[in-house]
Amino acid sequence: MWTTLTGWGMLLSAAGAVGCVLWGVGPYPPLVAETGLAALAVVFAAAWIAASRRAPQHTGRPPACGRGLVWLIAWLVPLATLACFALGFMVSPEYGQETERLEAAGYGEHSAIVVRLAGDPVRSYDDDDEPYFETDLVLRIPYDSAPREVTVPGMYTRYDPPKPGMSIAVYYAPGDPRPDSPVLEYGSRRGAGLLGTRTLLAVILVIPAGALLTGLLTYEMPREVRRFTPPVHLPALGILLLGLLLLLPTALGWEAAGLAHPAAFLSCVTPGAALAWVWRSF
């Protein structure tokens, strides 16, 4: 009984960690809930090994894997791969906190009025040979507290140079009281959710992969997979633990000399590699 409970606890904790990543429970590092559930999955894995080693040895073949276990593994592997991939795009804690603060203050594209030019317009041409002008501009920004004049360098206008009194679109947060609140021409910020990208990836990659694995594992999953076998399960658990270690710098907000995100992308191969190891070993 303890072997079954700890085994299901391991898989459900891992599924919870994956779900928290995909549904954006933590908008930016440190991902406390996700890391805690992943750590709990490791604890359950150790308990499963201990319970399996202490359980009485049965003769004959173990019972066939239940449909619930087949479905959980078949969908958890591609979802975990997608979660690792999504973590590779996770923003830094500083960027996430700043984005959260600006969005609460109404950050987005708004209109501002040109007060005066802060430099001479520089005429250039785009790839279609259409003229545009780059100019440092002083803009009147209608903040909620009071309008302020802000100098924005390198503003672009097409066809004609800018003139005082014209309206121009910039990104800023009307409700941000800080004097250094950012005012940018192209300032759309990358959110932590990436929901649209993840949904598209789920449709393109996860659903076909999950359906294929469900069909394969329903008929081909080894019956012995529920019984702990050190030469089989220990390397598989080691592969998964390696994947967790590769994700820690990103999940906890450590930059690690710029290697955090490449390590997260590298961890994408570990869920499938662990399943492949178990499959071929039996």
The token pair at 92 is: 């830094």
SS3 75: helix
Residue pair 2/51 in contact (Cβ under 8 Å)? The answer is yes
pLDDT at residue number 168: 94
pLDDT at residue number 196: 54
The token pair at 249 is: 């710098």
pLDDT-derived band at 58, boundaries 50, 70, 90: low
The token pair at 263 is: 């390590």
Q: What average pLDDT does the chain have?
A: 87
Query: Over the stretch 229-278, which tens digit does the pLDDT of each residue have?
Result: 899 999 999 999 999 999 999 999 887 556 667 888 999 999 999 999 99
Residue corresponding to tokens 């903040």? 143
Please state which of the ranges 142-146, 171-175, 187-191 shows the lowest mean pLDDT: 187-191
What secondary structure letter does DSSP report for 80? H
Q: Kind and range of the H or E element at 88?
A: none
Residue 13 and residue 18: Cα distance in Å, rounded? 9
Query: Over the stretch 199-239, which tens digit does the pLDDT of each residue have?
Result: 676 778 888 999 999 998 888 777 677 778 899 999 999 99
Strands 108-117 and 131-142: antiparallel
pLDDT at residue number 52: 85
What secondary structure letter does DSSP report for 106? T
The token pair at 212 is: 């294929």
Determine whether 34 is exposed, middle or buried from the number of CB atoms within 10 Å of its CB (0-12, 13-18, 19+).
buried
